Every structure is written in C-alpha cells, then in structure tokens.
Amino acid sequence: MNNILVTKGVTKRFGKHTALHNVSLEIPKNSIYGLLGPNGAGKTTLIRIINQITYPDQGEVFFDGEPLNPRHIAMIGYLPEERGLYKKMKVGEQALYLAQLKGLSKAEAKRRLKYWFDRLEIGDWWNKKIQELSKGMAQKIQFIVTVLHEPKLLIFDEPFSGFDPINANVIKDEILHLREKGASIIFSTHRMESVEELCEYITLLHQSEKILDGRLSDIKKAYKNNIFNVGLETPNGETLLKELSEKFEIMASAYDTNQQQLNFTLQLPSNESSELLTYLSARANVNSFIETVPSANEIFIRTVQSKNGHV
Amino acid sequence: MYKLPLIIKREYLAKVRNKSFVIMTFLSPILMVAMVVLIAYLTQLNDNEKRVIAVLNESDYFSNAFLTTESTSYIDFKGIDLEKAKDSTSNLGYYGLLYIPDAAHLEQVADGTFFYSKDAPSTMVLGALESIFEERLRQQRLVRLGVSSEDFAAIDNGYEIKISTFAGEQNLKGINEIKAFIGGAFGYLIMMFIIIYGGFVMRSVIEEKTSRIIEVIISSVKPFQLMMGKIIGTALAGITQFAIWVISGAILFVVAFAIFDIDPGIMSGGPELPSGMGAEMAPNLANDTELAEGYLKELFRLPLALLLISFVVYFVLGYLIYSSIYAAIGAAVDNETDTQQFIFPIIMPLMLAIYVGFFSVFNNPHGPIAVGFSLFPLTSPIVMLMRLPGGVGEGGVPLWQFIASIVLLLITFVGIVWLAAKIYRVGILMYGKKPTYKELFKWLRY
C-alpha cells in the first residue's frame, strides 16, 4: 500500500445539514498533503472522522490498508485548530498525561519529553503552569504533545497560528524533519504561501464536496492559461506591440524608450509557444520569456469562485 | 480501558489540589464546629444567668410555694413594708418584687397580688408565677368541693396507651420516626453529595470546553471514557473530602467540648431532630432508662447491613445518574451562566424527594405516596432509604418494591447515561450556540 489514508465516499450529516458529501481521498505515504477549503467546507469534520471523534454516516476510511479502528488512534497525532491545555496543570505533568493517553508508558513518555524539551529549548518550563506561559509557548508544548508518540500520520490544523515568524520557522523545520523520518502529514491551513512551500499534494473541499485534488505541480500545470511574460530589447517597441496586438491578446505592456526595453504579458490560444518565440527573436533581442504558473492562492480562489457561479 | 484509570487519577488530583477545594475541606469542619460550640456556649451562658425575685409575702396561703429553680431564685423579704421592699429590690438589682398581701380568702390574696419590676417583666417569669397561683387556686377550690389533695394529685396523672406488635413484642412510641430519620439522614447525604459534586463535574466539563483542550483529549480517548473518568474522579475527591470532614469534625467536636467544658447533652434533642419529635422524645429517653434501653435495643435491631449495602447501591446509582446529567449540561453550554435553565429541573426531583420523605414517609412509610416516590428512579435513592430502616419483608418494605426500585434505577441509569453521553459527545465540540431543549433533542440523533 502506498497510501497511508484512503477515504471512499465519505458522507456525514448533522440533522439536515450535510457536512461532507461523498468525499474520496487518497493520501500517499510520506507526503505532506494539503487539505484546503473555505471556512465551513467540511475540513474539520473530515479530520474528526479520521481521528474517530465522529463517525461517517456512509463511506469507508482505511488507515494503512486496514479499515479504520480504535487501534489506529495511537498512530495518529492531531493538532486541532482550536487548541488548549489545562490551564492549572503543570507543563510536564500535562504532557505526561496526554502522552500516556496516547499509549506511551510513563518512563518512555518522560524520556521522549526530555528529548523534545531540550530540542526546542524549553527544558526549564517543566514545572510551570500553563497559565503562566504565553500563547506561543503553550503552542510549542502542544506541538510536542502531538508528535511525541511518533505517529505514522500527523494532522496539523493551522499549525503556525500563534507563533512569531522565528518560531513558525522552527516548527516548519520540525514538520519537514518528521516527514524525512517517515511520517505522513495532513496539513490544513488558509495560509497559501505555506501550502506552496510545503505541500506535495492538495485537496480542495468546498461546500462539503471535494472539488479538486492531486499533485500540486500537476494541478498547476492544468491551471496554466498559456500566459507568458516577455521582456524584449528593441528600438521600435511601439510598432512591434501594435503588430502583436493584432494577432494576440495583450494583457499588460510597458515600453521604456530610453532603455529600449519592452515588457508585456500576453495570452496564447494554445500552449504552442515556439512559433511566437521564433517570431519575436527574428525582430528583437529576447531577454526573458516566462510562462506564468498560477499560485496555489489563485487556484484556490478561481476554483471556489467558479463553483459559486461568479467567475 | 487502561485510559480510564489515567483519567480518573487526573481528575482526582486536579480536584484535590485545587486551592479552594483544599481550603473548603479543612475550613468547613472548623467553621462548623466553631459555630456549634459558639451556640452551645452561648446557651450555657444564658442558662447561667439567674433571675432573682424578691417576695414580700404577708399571706399564709403561699408559704413554701416559691421554690428556686435553675433559672429563677426567690428571696423572702420579711417584716418590711411594701415601699421599703420596692426600694431594696431595686437597690439590690433584683429582677422584680412579688407582693402578696394578707387577706382572709385566697381569691382576695390573689386579687391583691402585684409584681413590681424596673422594666416590663418577661412572659416566662410571669407565666411561671401565674401557674403557681393557678395551681393554688385550683387546689383551694377543689378542697372546698371536698376533694382531698391526694385525690387531686391522682387526677392529674397522665395516660399513655400501650402498644405492641401482633407477635406480642412491645412497640416503642416514635420508633418509626427515628428509623425514618436515620434513613432520611442517608438520603439527605446523597442529595447534598449530588448537588455539590454534580456541580463540580459540570464546571470541570465547562472548563475543558472553554480551555479548548477537549478536542486534544477526545482524539485520544472516547468521550464516554472521559465523562465517566471525570464523574468517578470527582466522586472519589468528594468521598475524600467527606471523610476528612467527618473525621476532623468528630475530633474537633470532642476537643472543643472538652476545652470549653460544654455538656454535649445540651444540644441533644435540639437541632438535628425534626420538629415536634425532639421535644417529646428527649425527656422520655433521659427519664426512663428502661425505655431508653428499649430504644437502643430497637436501634441495634435495625437492618444495618441492609441499610449500608442499600446506601452504597442507591448512592452509586443515584450519583451516576445525576452527575451524568450534570456532565451533559456542562457540555451543552459555553459558560456557567447558561446552566441555570437546565439545573432547576435536576434539583427539583431531589428537593421533592427530601420533602416528600420528611412529610410523607415519616407519617406513613408504606403509604401510596411513599411507595410511588420510592419506586420513581429520580427520587428513589432518597425516599427508599428513608423507608428501608423498617427492613425488607414483613413489617417493612415489601420485597417486590425493593427489587422493583433497584431494577428501575438500573434501567434508568443505563438510559440516562447513554443519553447524557450522546449529548456530551456532541456538546463538547459545539461552540457559540446557546442550546435549547429542542437543540439538545436534535443532538441525540447526530
């Protein structure tokens, strides 16, 4: 099996409201998988089903090839978006308790906690109460608790919220490190730049349904619009631009007469760009010729808006 | 299921380490004992203050009529006139002066009698004096009618009907009330425990919800496990607290009474017995040792094993039922202010059980109301315990009622815990909604 988690036709209703409708996913092992979607799309419900907090009305979930069952709870680590800790409990005691609930022995939990506390340089927090810590500090504890039992599947829901940029980077590096060590990661966020940076695969949920999924690079290819950014050096840029605009759709242009530098963006009817390139290089000195690839952010907005009906 | 003990341990420790809980645990017995000691001390102080009444008696009718009692002593003035007597009474700081003039007939003497005092005298003092006069007057009139004082004494003898069981054993007056009272104490204990520690369970659930740790926890354990762990852990903390209260309270009482030299008997028959009973019972017990032995014997004959076992059964089931409702309420709301509308319906059956118990079961432990409420599962833990000191079987609670009550309680326990767990499971992940009963009903089907 190459997938850590597979869902088949998962549907979940709350009364009259359908939270998930017929969602099928395949989450490959040892990958970072982005679970995206607008608020209320059903991400949290799906995550809760994977964590066996709720159960699907229809459909099946397989973990590492087996139908999902309570034994798998110890193999999953979940960092919920709405997170918190017991305010009046001491950091060490609390971490030990949560680790033991995930099935670690007390001694083992202590050993691993020491490792992680040293790694994140928070060893002296052991006897502090959570209410004495700042939000970012508490988030660090929460992160450790999530990964401590070395789960095969990690689910992070907005893992960077509450962190300053430095600590966000620390956490990002830890996530990448965990993947190197073999964990598979489901990553749910609204911050598209971190999706771009981390995710190999994505799924886009919208109004309880899956509207897009696959390898991020494949999706980007599919979303290309044959738009090219071109930079030329030519003394007669204005005439050239006029000629071009008769044949193609010019989306933006700028001509600097002093530098004899012409920049423009155009859309081709097909992905066949060699003809244009030959045409241009015969008339000018081509400095740059770049096909624009849509960002994850653009893909997200475009897909969701087209589903909503206003393109 | 290794997780359940972990949860119980955490909940227990979280509770007993809580500062206000610790303070309550150790301060309550001290406050309680201090209050009782204070009351007893003041009562004693009050009794020690004697009233002194001067008597200027010029008549023969009232010689030896005024005997010094615990609270009043009489001092005879002789051979001085009234004005002088008034002066000396007030100079000596006595409570008052009773002036009895000399006359031929008792009626005339009585008519001419005056009580002088600085302020208006207390009704108790007057009452005591008046009853002395009444007594003398009645005696005098009867003598005139030809009744000797011996006959008169005989007339005044009271009468008590003798009671016995069909088997011929002597029955004791008021023993039913005493028995019901013992059961009532158990029932009351259950009610207090449910209200105090059910509330703790509820607040603990709300705390988990507001601190948002709940989702982390239930990604590791089943909501049902968490709920049960919380309920059991809190109950253990409660039992610890109760045990400390009872032990330290008992020690403190003994020590305090020894230090302040207070006779513990001063409080007996007072506050802890229900009204009406104490006044009748206490003197009987004190005066008649034979009877007292009878009561003691009867108390030892109480089905103690049955009572204790039933207490544990009703306590455990009753507490589990109510505290799981409390847990469900805690899960349904976002903060404590929203709980009011749900709490009243839980406290109502508890209060009803106590009142029905004290008014109905005391009068007739086997009447239809007592039977009904001791079968109804939400009130049976309290009401049945009040009926049980009479035993099960002949003369006590019919066996079928006892069994039916426990079976009904068990069924309700399973049903309520199941329902509460469903509400709990959905509620702990719901935020921002002020739940209505309709909403809760919908959650049952999620």
Q: Which domain holds residue B376?
A: 3-33+172-443
Answer yes or no: do B191 and B126 share one domain. Answer: no
Residue A176 included in any domain: yes
Alpha-carbon gap: B50 to the closest alpha carbon of chain A (Å): 58
Alpha-carbon gap: B215 to the closest alpha carbon of chain A (Å): 7
Answer yes or no: do A25 and A66 share one domain. Answer: yes
Q: Which of B170, B166, B187, B163 is nearest to B388 (CA)?
A: B187
Best mutation target, A46, A51, A86, A156, to test chain B (most B CBs within 10 A): A86
Best mutation target, B21, B213, B433, B438, to test chain A (most A CBs within 10 A): B213
Closest to A101 (Cβ–Cβ): which among B3, B223, B446?
A: B3
Answer yes or no: do B135 and B201 share one domain. Answer: no
A80 contacts chain B (CB < 8 A): yes
Answer yes or no: do B207 and B302 share one domain. Answer: yes
Number of domains in chain B: 2
Residue A300 included in any domain: no
Residue A121 included in any domain: yes
Answer yes or no: do A139 and A252 share one domain. Answer: no
Do the Cβ atoms of B398 and B373 come closer than 8 Å? Answer: no
Answer yes or no: do B288 and B390 share one domain. Answer: yes
Task: Render pLDDT for A52-105 as a digit per residue (tens, 0 to 9).
Answer: 988 899 999 999 999 999 899 999 999 998 888 998 899 999 999 999 999 899
Residue B156 included in any domain: no
Integer CA distances (angstroms), A90 to B10, B13, B189, in order: 12, 12, 34
**What is the structure's pLDDT at B406?**
92
Q: Which domain holds residue A233?
A: 225-291
Residue B408 included in any domain: yes
- DSSP-derived letter for residue A8 is E
CA-CA distance, B31 to B37, in Å (whole number)? 10
* Pairing, β A32-36 against β A58-63: unpaired
Alpha-carbon gap: B36 to the closest alpha carbon of chain A (Å): 36
Show which of A205, A221, A237 is a domain's final residue: A221
Answer yes or no: do B178 and B117 share one domain. Answer: no
Residue B162 included in any domain: no
Residue B143, SS3 per DSSP = helix
**What is the structure's pLDDT at B285?**
44
Question: Residue B314: CB partners within 8 Å, gap ≥ 6?
Answer: B190, B380, B381, B382, B384, B385, B409
CA-CA distance, B110 to B114, in Å (whole number)? 9
Answer yes or no: do A66 and A136 share one domain. Answer: yes
Answer yes or no: do B79 and B208 share one domain. Answer: no
Residue A241 included in any domain: yes
Answer yes or no: do A67 and A192 share one domain. Answer: yes
Answer yes or no: do B114 and B176 share one domain. Answer: no
Do the Cβ atoms of A73 and A63 come closer than 8 Å? Answer: no
Residue keyed to tokens 């300053």: A164
Other residues' Cβ atoms within 10 Å of the Cβ of residue B109: 22
Closest to A97 (Cβ–Cβ): which among B6, B211, B218?
A: B6
A53 contacts chain B (CB < 8 A): yes
CA-CA distance, A262 to A309, in Å (whole number)? 37
Alpha-carbon gap: B438 to the closest alpha carbon of chain A (Å): 12
Chain A residues touching B19 at Cβ < 8 A: none
Task: Render pLDDT for B161-205 as a digit per residue (tens, 0 to 9).
Answer: 777 777 666 666 667 677 777 778 888 888 989 998 999 999 999
Q: Which residues of chain A have pLDDT under 50?
A: 311
Asked if A78's CB is within 8 angstroms of B217's CB, the reply is: no
Residue B5, SS3 per DSSP = helix
Chain B residues touching A89 at Cβ < 8 A: 14
Chain A residues touching B10 at Cβ < 8 A: 97
A75 contacts chain B (CB < 8 A): no
Residue A310 included in any domain: no
- DSSP-derived letter for residue A32 is E
Going across the sheet that includes A261-267, the strands are: A249-256, A261-267, A227-233, A285-291
Answer yes or no: do B104 and B8 share one domain. Answer: no
Torsions phi, psi for B401 (to 5 deg): -70, -40
CA-CA distance, B411 to A213, in Å (whole number)? 50
**What is the structure's pLDDT at B299?**
67
Chain B residues touching A52 at Cβ < 8 A: 219
Answer yes or no: do B392 and B264 share one domain. Answer: yes
CA-CA distance, B197 to B202, in Å (whole number)? 9
A48 contacts chain B (CB < 8 A): yes
**ipTM greater than cut 0.90:** no
Answer yes or no: do A208 and A237 share one domain. Answer: no
Torsions phi, psi for A290 (to 5 deg): -125, 130
Chain B residues touching A84 at Cβ < 8 A: 211-213, 216
Number of domains in chain A: 2
**What is the structure's pLDDT at A181?**
92
CA angle A259, A261, A267 (to 5 degrees): 170
Query: Which CATH number covers residue A41?
Result: 3.40.50.300
Chain B residues touching A87 at Cβ < 8 A: 211
**What is the structure's pLDDT at A20?**
93
Residue B327 included in any domain: yes
Answer yes or no: do A108 and A199 share one domain. Answer: yes
Q: Which residues of chain B have pLDDT under 70?
A: 1, 46-49, 156, 167-174, 176, 261-292, 294-295, 298-301, 446
Nearest CA in chain B to A146: B216
Nearest CA in chain A to B440: A15
- DSSP-derived letter for residue A284 is S
Residue B38 included in any domain: no
Do the Cβ atoms of B99 and B56 come closer than 8 Å? Answer: yes
Alpha-carbon gap: A80 to the closest alpha carbon of chain B (Å): 7
**What is the structure's pLDDT at B278?**
39
Answer yes or no: do A199 and A272 share one domain. Answer: no
Chain A residues touching B431 at Cβ < 8 A: 82
Residue B185 included in any domain: yes
**What is the structure's pLDDT at B147?**
79
> Backbone dihedral region of A136: left (phi > 0), alpha (psi from -120 to 50 degrees) or beta?
alpha
Per DSSP, the residues of A57-77 read SEEEEEETTEEP-GGGGGGEE
Answer yes or no: do A159 and A276 share one domain. Answer: no
**What is the structure's pLDDT at A131?**
87
CA-CA distance, A261 to A254, in Å (whole number)? 8
Answer yes or no: do B52 and B29 share one domain. Answer: no
Answer yes or no: do B264 and B411 share one domain. Answer: yes
Query: Which CATH number covers residue A269?
Result: 3.30.70.3100
A87 contacts chain B (CB < 8 A): yes
Answer yes or no: do A170 and A240 share one domain. Answer: no
Answer yes or no: do B104 and B231 share one domain. Answer: no
Answer yes or no: do A115 and A252 share one domain. Answer: no
Answer yes or no: do A184 and A86 share one domain. Answer: yes
Nearest CA in chain B to A85: B213
Q: What is the pTM of this model?
A: 0.75
**What is the structure's pLDDT at B265?**
55
Asked if B219's CB is within 8 angstroms of A83's CB, the reply is: no
Chain A residues touching B421 at Cβ < 8 A: none
Question: Residue A203: CB partners within 8 Å, gap ≥ 6?
Answer: A25, A33, A34, A35, A36, A210, A212, A213
Best mutation target, B215, B218, B443, to test chain A (most A CBs within 10 A): B215
Chain B interface with A: residues with Cβ < 8 Å: 3, 6-7, 10, 14, 18, 208, 211-213, 215-221, 223, 429, 431, 442, 445-446
Residue B271 included in any domain: yes
Asked if A15's CB is within 8 angstroms of B442's CB, the reply is: yes
Q: Which residues of B19-56 are buried (b: 16+ CB within 10 A; e: fewer)?
A: eebeeebeeebeeebeebbeebbeeeeeeeeebebbbb
CA-CA distance, A183 to A196, in Å (whole number)? 19
Alpha-carbon gap: A180 to the closest alpha carbon of chain B (Å): 25
**What is the structure's pLDDT at A75?**
93
**What is the structure's pLDDT at B128?**
84
Residue A73 included in any domain: yes
Closest to B220 (Cβ–Cβ): which among A83, A88, A102?
A: A102
Task: Render pLDDT for A148-169 as a digit per residue (tens, 0 to 9).
Answer: 999 999 999 999 988 899 999 9
Nearest CA in chain A to B209: A84
Integer CA distances (angstroms), A265 to A244, A261, A269, B381, in order: 11, 14, 13, 82
Residue A249 included in any domain: yes
Chain B residues touching A82 at Cβ < 8 A: 212, 215, 431
**What is the structure's pLDDT at A249?**
80
Answer yes or no: do A122 and A106 share one domain. Answer: yes
Chain B residues touching A102 at Cβ < 8 A: 220
Return the structure tokens found at A48.
């809760």
| Among A residues 93-132, those touching chain B with beta carbons less than 8 Å apart | 97-98, 100-102
Residue B165 included in any domain: no
Residue A189 included in any domain: yes
**What is the structure's pLDDT at B12?**
94
